[in-house]
Amino acid sequence: MLRELIPLVTALTAAGVVYVVREQRRRRMRIDPPRPHLTMREISDTPALLEIEKQCLATDDPRVAFRRAAIENAVAGLYLEAIAECGVADTGELLRAHTQIAQALREYLHLKYDDAVADDWFDHFTRVARPYIREKVRLTREFALHLDEGAERFARIYDALLQELLKEALAAPQKKSFVPPDFSHS
């Protein structure tokens, strides 16, 4: 009689495990903003952030507009990093400002829209965009110094890649985690 119960117990155990895993995933993926009535002034009263909030809230989809603003500030920071690596001085303060704005927008997106998790659209964008931007800055410098038209064409390719990456980041579902890119072969 006990032998007859083993398949039933196994099936019930497997069903229980599947149920628990599905419930954990459902709870993790549920969009539940901690502070849906948050204003930017509660995070920072920096004039640039208050202006970004005003512009984004006036759009049809404020969450996507805030994502775009966060990415634009991150991109500016990545360009400044790449330019500083080329030996241009006095980029630190501007880099710090763009980084702080991007981080404040990330916090705002998390608290108001529940739109920030580890390895999400923002992290994925910045990880992939960083080498693109470094290479684009290098190619643009090459073009400026040596009038190498091939470098200019490659720089335009990086522009197209960055635009495609931006579209993907803006369209990514909330709370989706991305696998970090593997740049070990490059």
The answer to whether residues 122 and 70 touch, using CB atoms and an 8 Å cutoff, is: yes
Nearest-CA neighbor of 40 among 26, 61, 56, 28? 56
Q: What angle do CA 161, 167, 173 make, to 5 degrees?
A: 130
Query: Residue 57: its pLDDT value, please?
Result: 92
Cα separation, 73 vs 115, whole angstroms: 17
Query: Residue 31: its pLDDT value, please?
Result: 63
Number of domains in the chain: 1
Query: Residue 29: its pLDDT value, please?
Result: 60
Q: Is residue 23 part of a domain?
A: no
Q: Is residue 17 part of a domain?
A: no
Q: Is residue 184 part of a domain?
A: no
User: What is the rounded end-to-end Cα distance, in angstroms, of the chain?
Assistant: 62
Q: Is residue 88 part of a domain?
A: yes
- Supply the angle between the helices 92-113 and 62-85 in degrees, to the nearest 10: 160
Question: For the segment 76-122, what is each residue's pLDDT rounded down to a tens digit?
Answer: 999 999 999 988 888 889 999 999 999 999 999 999 988 878 888 99
Cα separation, 4 vs 11, whole angstroms: 12
Query: Residue 178: its pLDDT value, please?
Result: 81
Query: Residue 132: its pLDDT value, please?
Result: 93
Q: Is residue 38 part of a domain?
A: no
What's the pTM? 0.80
Cα separation, 106 vs 173, whole angstroms: 15
Q: Is residue 3 part of a domain?
A: no
Q: Is residue 178 part of a domain?
A: no
Which two tokens mark 98?
């763009």
Q: Is residue 183 part of a domain?
A: no
Cα separation, 116 vs 101, whole angstroms: 15
Containing structural domain, residue 154: 45-171
Residues of the chain scoring pLDDT < 70:
1, 27-34, 185-186
Query: Residue 38: its pLDDT value, please?
Result: 86
Cα separation, 66 vs 55, whole angstroms: 9
Q: How far is CA 158 from CA 83, 162, 178, in A?
A: 16, 6, 21
Cα separation, 155 vs 141, whole angstroms: 10
Query: Residue 55: its pLDDT value, please?
Result: 96
